[in-house]
Chains A and B, each alone.
Chain A
Amino acid sequence: MNDQEQELFRDSLRHATVAHTAEALDAELDDLGWRDALRADRRAAVSTLFELQGRANATSSALDTVLATALGVDPASTAGVVLPPLGCCRPPGRVTAERLDVRGMGTAALGRHATAVVAAEVGQEQVTVVVDTAALELRPARGLDPTIGIVHVVGEGLGATTRSTTAPTAWTSAMARGQLALAHELVGASRTMLQLARDHALERIQFGRPIAAFQAVRHQLAESLVAIEEADAALGAAWDVGSPLDAAVAKAIGGRSARAVARHCQQVLAGIGFTTEHPFHRYVRRVLVLDGLLGDARSLTRELGEGLLRTRRLPSIPPL
């Protein structure tokens, strides 16, 4: 996409994510040709949509599409993808004696698709299995963020409709692409939290002036912007380099940065931000859950450190 096309694409997606969510947003994405864009320019399609989706607190089946594509499933087929359980990036399925057991999570979109893709381990091998969604038990997770629509997914002793052996790197690559997408969504949600806190700081008068005039408040807002820029820069480098390690680093930084932004902005928004009359709480809920998906910052950071201590060497870092 050239700059002008990208601008138009971004504008259309902005309108779509602000006005729609869930199934309605999926329909809009189809109309706007987002799946074609994903095929033609994955970076532009993913970074633009997920940041805007995060900004608008919207949901869609885009994560399923990103993962399905990475697992070699035709993106036009609109299958859902079973996510790994929290804090873990191992495939959610196990195949033993030709029967498939599944333990994982799913997006709100999973139940809307007739079929679901399950990455599964068969001994040392990995396979991609397509199952009827109806055969899976989907239980809504009424957790911290009720509107994200995450479901628990369980399946026992399933027969597979189709099954194909995938390259051992396919699941790793799918996780990496998903992590980049989620990190963009975290950045988008963080930008809205900062915007809400900034607006409040400029409007709220105490001691005869806007609280934005007080250095303690200004520094919390500045700290938030630095955290967002940090996550955004890490994403830029991770896309340029394209390795799974870089994607995991970007996801970890995105998760930690969003938590920092939530903490600072909550403090600036104070009482009003603690009520459900203000939209802020939706974003706090969203970023905590997004951080948990496909590897939370804490686990990814510890695993990264363990890897560095094993090799006692730095991995290659983004070149100039």
Chain B
Amino acid sequence: MELDAFRSSVDRWLDEHAAALSPDHPGMGTLDQQMAQLAKVKRLAYDAGWMRWGWPERVGGLGGSTLLRAYLGEALTARDLVESGIYSLTEVLAPTMIDYAPPELAAAMVPRLLRGDETWCQGFSEPGTGSNLAALSCRATLTDDEWRITGQKVWTSLAQYADRCVLLTRTGAPESAHRGITAIFVDMASPGITVRPLETMHGGAEFSEVFFDDVAVPVDRTLGEVGRGWSVAMDILPFERSTALWHRGAFLNRRLEQLLAAAAAGALAPAEVGEVFQQLYALRARSRATQHRLAAGQRLGPETSVDKILLATAEQGLFDLVGAGLAQDVLVGDDVSSERWRAELLYSRAATIYGGSAEIQRNIVARRMLDLGADR
């Protein structure tokens, strides 16, 4: 299916099914409510076929360009039907399964994620391993036909809801750095896993600490080759910085328009409004070009750090403007709309921290794009 035809069909379907798709809760809802809404929308979109376009047929998709799924996420986000961050996890994790899981495993699992039957999480960061991912120490040891995993992860988004986890483990010597990492697909119901949600400053518990105590995982759940987990991680990160950002940009544009509608006369400085619009425009332009490169089969790499930097700048710029233009709501408002502006403003502070901090993104640009050599 071509993008234009897909676009008009999806728009028509969304119009026709607006009542069935819309959230049951007012405002942004709790994380529980957002997760229920996400599952409902994915299920309806999957059953209608839309959620399957842009994914390969061997994992239950209907084929076609990846632009189709980029558009679907944009449309769902722009209509406020899903929260873009939790929706986009699919865009990050499904491609990894498709590229690295044994084909039967990918074929069995990916449809469950697309249909909203399951939630998956991504176990990367550890207490001692934030920006320095290659230093991770969560240990996996191979015994006969299974891995035994012991260690801890943190900042694991949606772990408390997750049925599966794409987990990075240390399988080489402790000092093997990026050469001794293996990616493993873990059932979160396995004995020995404890999840402790972390309450964030913007409200809700989006991420958790996850503890692994001698957790057994069959060896056929290995993603890619043993000791080659670093390349799995390196392939995931550009997805975090491509389609997910396209969806996030659609969300930010919608919120800018809502800010324009909500702010009192004189509350917003024209120059600041103009600049935020331009930042969102640049993000959209960049992310759009990235989507077209992805659709053309190009391999995404370090240049997606530019996309992430533009996202973080634009998101914080927008919510700084919200803080100025809707100060009354943000500071002392107690209705659901104020709560939402407030939560999103606080969440925007994380845009320069999660998914590779602002500093790490600039390190990547300096090392990989400008070829400045080692920094020490």
For residue A236, give the distance in angstroms from its CB to the closest CB of chain B.
6
Q: Are B273 and A230 within 8 A (Cβ)?
A: no
Q: Does A146 contact B (CB under 8 A)?
A: no
For residue A74, give the distance in angstroms from its CB to the closest CB of chain B.
34
| Also in contact, A314 and B366, with CB within 8 A (given A230-B282, A230-B286, A301-B271) | no
| Also in contact, A308 and B260, with CB within 8 A (given A226-B309, A233-B285, A320-B70) | yes
- The residues of B that contact A306 with a CB separation of less than 8 Å are 270, 274
Complex: A276 Cα to B42 Cα, angstroms: 62
Complex: A298 Cα to B268 Cα, angstroms: 16
| Also in contact, A320 and B373, with CB within 8 A (given A215-B363, A218-B366) | no
For residue B285, give the distance in angstroms from its CB to the closest CB of chain A.
4
Q: Are B275 and A312 within 8 A (Cβ)?
A: no
Q: Are A253 and B278 within 8 A (Cβ)?
A: yes
- The residues of B that contact A222 with a CB separation of less than 8 Å are 362-363, 365-366, 369-370
| Chain A 237-260 interface mask (CB, 8 Å, partner B; 1/0) | 110000000000100110010000
Contact of A218 among B67, B257, B280, B363 (CB under 8 A): B363
For residue A144, give the distance in angstroms from its CB to the closest CB of chain B.
23
Chain A contacts with B in 220-242, Cβ cutoff 8 A: 221-223, 225-226, 229-231, 233-234, 236-238
Q: Are A317 and B372 within 8 A (Cβ)?
A: no
Chain B contacts with A in 278-302, Cβ cutoff 8 A: 278, 280-282, 284-286, 288-289, 291
| Chain B 49-77 interface mask (CB, 8 Å, partner A; 1/0) | 00000000000000000010011001000
Q: Are A312 and B261 within 8 A (Cβ)?
A: yes
Which residue among A210, A219, A233, A298 has the maximum number of chain B CB atoms within 10 Å of its CB?
A233
- The residues of B that contact A231 with a CB separation of less than 8 Å are 282
Q: Does B272 contact A (CB under 8 A)?
A: yes
Complex: A298 Cα to B272 Cα, angstroms: 10
Interface size on A, residues (CB 8 A): 44
Contact of B272 among A229, A230, A305 (CB under 8 A): A305
For residue A240, give the distance in angstroms from its CB to the closest CB of chain B.
9
- The residues of A that contact B370 with a CB separation of less than 8 Å are 198, 218, 221-222, 225
Q: Are B289 and A308 within 8 A (Cβ)?
A: no
| Also in contact, A225 and B289, with CB within 8 A (given A304-B277, A308-B260, A313-B260) | no
Q: Are A309 and B366 within 8 A (Cβ)?
A: no
- The residues of B that contact A210 with a CB separation of less than 8 Å are 373
For residue B101, give the distance in angstroms from its CB to the closest CB of chain A.
28
- The residues of B that contact A320 with a CB separation of less than 8 Å are 3, 7, 67, 70-71, 74, 246, 288, 291
Q: Does A52 contact B (CB under 8 A)?
A: no
Q: Which residue of A lies closest to B257 (CB)?
A: A314
Q: Does B376 contact A (CB under 8 A)?
A: yes
Q: Which residue of A lies closest to B261 (CB)?
A: A312
Q: Are A301 and B278 within 8 A (Cβ)?
A: yes
Q: Does B306 contact A (CB under 8 A)?
A: yes
Complex: A258 Cα to B345 Cα, angstroms: 29
- The residues of A that contact B256 with a CB separation of less than 8 Å are 314
Q: Are B362 and A223 within 8 A (Cβ)?
A: yes
Q: Does B24 contact A (CB under 8 A)?
A: no
Q: Does B269 contact A (CB under 8 A)?
A: yes
- The residues of B that contact A318 with a CB separation of less than 8 Å are 281, 284-285, 288
Q: Does B374 contact A (CB under 8 A)?
A: yes
| Also in contact, A253 and B366, with CB within 8 A (given A301-B271, A312-B260) | no
- The residues of A that contact B260 with a CB separation of less than 8 Å are 308-309, 312-314
Q: Are B366 and A219 within 8 A (Cβ)?
A: yes
- The residues of B that contact A212 with a CB separation of less than 8 Å are 372-373
Q: Are B282 and A234 within 8 A (Cβ)?
A: yes
- The residues of A that contact B67 with a CB separation of less than 8 Å are 320
Which residue among B74, B272, B366 has the maximum number of chain A CB atoms within 10 Å of its CB?
B366
Complex: A301 Cα to B253 Cα, angstroms: 17
Complex: A180 Cα to B242 Cα, angstroms: 26
| Also in contact, A213 and B374, with CB within 8 A (given A219-B366, A226-B306, A314-B257) | yes
Q: Which residue of B lies closest to A197 (CB)?
A: B370
Q: Are A253 and B365 within 8 A (Cβ)?
A: no
For residue B322, give the distance in angstroms from its CB to the closest CB of chain A.
15
Complex: A305 Cα to B310 Cα, angstroms: 20
Chain A contacts with B in 191-209, Cβ cutoff 8 A: 198, 201-202
Q: Does B375 contact A (CB under 8 A)?
A: yes
Chain A contacts with B in 127-166, Cβ cutoff 8 A: none
Chain B contacts with A in 216-231, Cβ cutoff 8 A: none
- The residues of A that contact B278 with a CB separation of less than 8 Å are 234, 249, 252-253, 256, 301, 304
Complex: A256 Cα to B374 Cα, angstroms: 30
Q: Does B213 contact A (CB under 8 A)?
A: no
Contact of A305 among B70, B277, B286 (CB under 8 A): B277
Q: Which residue of A lies closest to B376 (CB)?
A: A213
- The residues of A that contact B291 with a CB separation of less than 8 Å are 320
Q: Are B253 and A308 within 8 A (Cβ)?
A: no
Q: Which residue of A lies closest to B358 (CB)?
A: A219
Q: Are B257 and A230 within 8 A (Cβ)?
A: no
Q: Are B365 and A225 within 8 A (Cβ)?
A: yes
Q: Does A303 contact B (CB under 8 A)?
A: yes
25 CB contacts below 8 A, A to B, read A218-B367, A219-B366, A222-B362, A226-B365, A229-B286, A229-B303, A230-B286, A233-B288, A236-B289, A237-B281, A237-B288, A238-B285, A249-B277, A303-B270, A304-B277, A305-B268, A309-B270, A313-B257, A314-B277, A317-B281, A317-B284, A318-B284, A320-B3, A320-B71, A320-B246
9 nearest CB pairs, A to B: A305-B274, A305-B270, A237-B285, A305-B273, A218-B366, A301-B274, A304-B274, A222-B365, A233-B286
Beyond A253-B282, A309-B273, list 19 extra A-B contacts (CB 8 Å).
A218-B366, A218-B375, A221-B372, A222-B370, A225-B306, A226-B309, A233-B282, A234-B282, A301-B278, A303-B274, A305-B271, A305-B273, A309-B268, A312-B261, A313-B261, A314-B257, A314-B277, A320-B67, A320-B71
